Amino acid sequence: MDSIMMGSPKIAPQLEGRTAVPRLLVVALALGTLAAGCAGKSAQSDPPALAPIDVRERHPIVLRDAPRSLDVFVGRAGATLDSRQAEDVADFAQEYRKSGKGGLVAEVPSGARRERATHDTLNGIRAALTRGGVSPNALTVRSYPVQDPGLASPIRLSFASLQAALPHQCGQWPTDLGVSDFKFAASNESHWNFGCAAQATLAAQVADPIDLVRARDEGRPDIVKRMGAIAKIREGKDPSTQYRQQTPQINSTVGGGN
């Protein structure tokens, strides 16, 4: 009996060692599962919204190659371009030098029985292009048939350039703004056309569409203004610009009768 009691403590550590190994495996597997789940959750992106709420997402401004054109109306035979159209062509030439891609094309009407006047107008266009800094050799002349001789058939100048615009037209109403669409009415969201005109106007007002993609390099600072500001700081003065606005004198006396 004593021998059995003396040997029993030797068996207990072996049993504890055998049960400790599965426990460590279970804990390791559990930690691995949690780590894999956290990694998978971090790799997944947030679920997208059901509808774009931001105006810039609903009506994004995109850049595309689009043609720019100018219609020059044919004058009388033997005459040059008038001052208004000559100035327009010169400005169009400067715009072509600034943002033009490819060649400059002139589409000339054919079959209007005004070949002499059309030829003289085309020569005036070449002269105006030269004043605008564009060589006449850069102009490619093409013809198009006149559909109605009774209507004015201009010479159309065109070139391709990078322009900012919306990928769709404004004025679309895909959802009912009334109470028939209860889900849309209860969502308290703005209608689809909201902000479209503002984005289209902003795209049309941008002088250089590349400014919407990246910023320009910093220009040269005004050295004279900078040195003046440094001198004021050394003297303990405020270098900021002082704006003075004169307040009009308004007489508060109200005149009355006798």
Which residue's entry shows tokens 């597997």?
Answer: 29
List pLDDT tens digits, range 221-245: 889 989 999 999 999 999 888 877 7
- Report the percentage of the chain scoring pLDDT > 70: 76
Nearest alpha-carbon partner for 69 in 154, 183, 3: 154
Q: Residue 161's closest CA among 103, 217, 202?
A: 103
Choice between 145 and 184, residue whose per-residue pLDDT is larger: 145
C-alpha distances in Å from residue 168, one per residue of 58, 59, 62, 200, 208: 10, 8, 10, 10, 21
What the chain holds in terms of domains, given with CATH numbers, is 65-162 (3.30.1330.60)
- Which residues have C-beta within 8 Å of that of residue 154, sequence separation ≥ 6? 71, 72, 73, 74, 109
Structure confidence by residue, pLDDT tens digits, 104-142: 999 999 876 778 889 999 999 999 999 999 998 899 999
Asked whether 165 and 64 are in contact (CB, 8 A), the reply is: yes
Tokens, residue 107: 């589409």
